[in-house]
Structure 1
Amino acid sequence: MNTEKRVAELVEEKIADRPDLFLVDVTMHSNGKLMILVDGDQGVSIQDCAAISRHVGYHLEEEDVIINAYNLEVSSPGIDTPLKLLRQYRKNIGRSVSLKITDGSKREGKLIAVGETSIIIEEKIKEKGKKAIQQENTIPLDQILETKVLISFK
């Protein structure tokens, strides 16, 4: 069985009673680092990460899933981690985002709404010689290569 798939099952099992938490990603790196990213609608605590780590670690040892030495790391996605799931987009409605589009362009704006196949952002559009205006634009998810939340320090 695939290590990442088994780890994902173990995480889902552990957070089954916590509808506010969700698995974002599981990656087994070639250097032996097993990275689990978990997020929550209201964030994820260190205690949550520790409990998931204990549960996954215990079962991986019991089942002998990984033969080589490995380092298990459970955390929430960092601020520089691109959004992957619709649930992450929904959690960030109202925040500013930066998008990389499949045509090579970049767009920035406030995330207004999230649908099943597209998002709506409010962008500042500036035409030469005119005052900048706020404009809502719908962007299909299949045209987005990467979305990152922008942090404002104002």
Structure 2
Amino acid sequence: MITEKIEALLQEKYQEPEFADCFTIEIKQEGGNRLEVFVDSDSGMQFEKCQRISRFLEAHLDTNGWLGEVYTLEVSSPGIERPLKFARQYLRNIGRTFEVRLSAGETKTGVLKAVNPESIVLEEEIKWKEGKKNMKGTVQTVIPFEHIAKAIVKISFS
């Protein structure tokens, strides 16, 4: 299958020093001759890195004819709106607001405070009443990765 061949090529590319912190998020083949490759990097994915990976893959696609003569190849970083898939993606997002849907169905929204090998720490704002007074404060919740169904960075325009 083409996706396994592309993944193998990417793993080869990631052996080069300037791509050593890169990793594959997803490879999608659509319609037979359209290929989307989402890659990320611990140091951030710049346009130039995507472009060089794209040219590397194009050379192999052209030489081997895996998608035929006419094909579309898109290599990009996962946009901010895409859910995070790997623990290493959370590290660059400490301090940002997240919406986390848990496997049990509950959704939590808060600021990512820490990332541990097996979990994240999310700081949520809570509200409660004491008598007639409305109170608010924060609570930090440890969420194991295994309990996260979907986590996305919330974009704030304020």
Q: Taking structure 2 as the reference length, what is the TM-score of the superposition?
A: 0.86
> Is the contact made by 1:32 and 1:68 (CA closer than 8 Å) also made in structure 2?
no
What is residue 91 of structure 1 aligned with on the other side?
92
Shift of 1:68: 7.7
Q: Check if 1:135 corresponds to 2:139.
A: yes
What is residue 11 of structure 2 aligned with on the other side?
12
> Is the contact made by 1:60 and 1:66 (CA closer than 8 Å) also made in structure 2?
yes
Paired AA for residue 146 in structure 2: D
SS at match of 1:57: helix
Paired AA for residue 105 in structure 1: E
Say which one has the larger Rg. 2
Cα distance in 2, alignment partners of residues 20 and 146 from structure 1:
23
Q: How many pairs align?
A: 153
Paired AA for residue 53 in structure 1: S
What is residue 39 of structure 1 aligned with on the other side?
40
Cα distance in 1, alignment partners of residues 149 and 88 from structure 2:
17
Gaps of 5+ in 1: none
Gaps of 5+ in 2: none
SS at match of 1:9: helix
Cα distance in 1, alignment partners of residues 97 and 54 from structure 2:
32
- Please show how residues 1-154 of structure 1 align to structure 2 within 5 Å: 2-16=1-15, 17=17, 18-30=19-31, 32-67=33-68, 69-129=70-130, 130-154=134-158
1:48-103 Cα offsets, whole Å, 9 max, x none, are: 11111111111122223334843100011111110011110112112111011122
Sequence identity of aligned pairs in percent? 35
Root mean square deviation, CA, Å: 1.8
Shift of 1:146: 0.6
Cα distance in 1, alignment partners of residues 145 and 69 from structure 2:
38
Shift of 1:31: 5.8
- Of the structure 1 ranges 58-67 and 131-140, higher mean CA displacement relative to structure 2 is found in 58-67
Q: Which runs of 4+ in 1 moved over 4 A?
A: none
Q: Taking structure 1 as the reference length, what is the TM-score of the superposition?
A: 0.88
Could you say which structure has the higher strand fraction? 2
